[in-house]
Amino acid sequence: MSALATTSPLLGVYRPPSPVLVSGHGTRVVDSGGREYLDFTSGIAVNALGHGHPTVVEAARSALATGLLHTSNLFRTEPAAALAEWLVDRSFGDRVFFCNSGAEAVEGALKFARRWATTVGGPERNGIVAFKGGFHGRTMGALSATDRPAYQAPFAPLVSRVQIVDPGDPHAVARAIGPETAAVIVEPIQAEGGVHEMGADFLAGLRELCDDAGAALVFDEVQTGLGRTGLLWGHEWSGVAPDLMALAKPLAGGLPMGAVVLAEHIADAIQPGDHASTFGGGPFVATVALAVCEKIGSAEILENVRRADAWLRERCAGLVERGRIVEARGRGLLWGLELGRPAAPVVDAARARGLLVCTAGQEVLRLLPPLNTSLAELEEGVALLEEVL
Tell me how far, at minimum, the Cβ of 102 lies from ligand PLP, in Å.
2
Asked if 325 and 316 count as a contact pair (C-beta separation under 8 A), the reply is yes
- Cα–Cα distances (Å) from 136 to 140, 202, 292, in that order, read 10, 19, 23
Query: Closest approach of Cβ 2 to ligand PLP, in Å?
Result: 26
CB of 280 to ligand PLP, least distance (A): 13
Given a contact cutoff of 8 angstroms between Cβ atoms, the answer to whether 23 and 30 are in contact is yes
Q: How far is the CB of 101 from ligand PLP (least distance, A)?
A: 4
Compare residues 220 and 309 and give the one whose CB is closer to ligand PLP. 220
Q: Provide the binding-site residues for ligand PLP, judged by CB under 6 A.
A: 44, 101-103, 106, 135-137, 187, 191-192, 220, 222-223, 248
Torsions phi, psi for 89 (to 5 deg): -65, -25
Query: Measured between alpha carbons, how far is 288 from 63 in angstroms, rounded to an integer?
Result: 7
SS3 content of the chain, % helix, strand, coil (to 5): 40, 20, 45
Q: How far apart are CA 76 and CA 302, in angstroms?
A: 31
Residue with smallest beta-carbon separation from ligand PLP: 102
Dist CA 336 CA 348 (whole Å): 17
Q: Return the number of the residue (102 or 283) whose C-beta is nearest ligand PLP.
A: 102
Measured from the CB atom, the residue of 248 and 266 that comes closer to ligand PLP is: 248
| 191/240 with CB nearer ligand PLP | 191
Question: How far is CA 173 from each of CA 113, 176, 207, rounded to the nearest angstrom?
Answer: 19, 5, 12
Shortest distance in whole angstroms from residue 234 CB to ligand PLP: 10
> For ligand PLP, which is the closer residue by CB, 138 or 324?
138
> Which C-beta is closer to ligand PLP: that of 177 or that of 358?
358
**Residue 257 to residue 350: CA distance in whole angstroms:** 30
C-alpha distances (whole Å) from 232 to each of 24, 137, 206 are 25, 22, 21
- Residue 232 or residue 248: which is nearer to ligand PLP going by CB? 248
- Shortest Cβ distance from residue 222 to ligand PLP (Å)? 4
Residue nearer to ligand PLP on the CB measure, 148 or 161: 148
For residue 181, the SS3 value is: strand
Please, which residue, 223 or 287, has the CB nearer to ligand PLP?
223
Vertex 235: Cα angle to 361 and 238 (nearest 5): 110
Concatenated DSSP letters of 199-249: -HHHHHHHHHHHHHHT-EEEEE-TTTTTTTTSSSSGGGGTT---SEEEE-T
Least Å distance between CB 109 and ligand PLP?
10
Tell me the closest approach of the beta carbon of residue 248 to ligand PLP, in angstroms: 5
Rounded-to-integer distance, Cα 239 and Cα 219, Å: 13
Rounded least distance, CB 66 to ligand PLP, Å:
26
DSSP single-letter state for residue 51: B
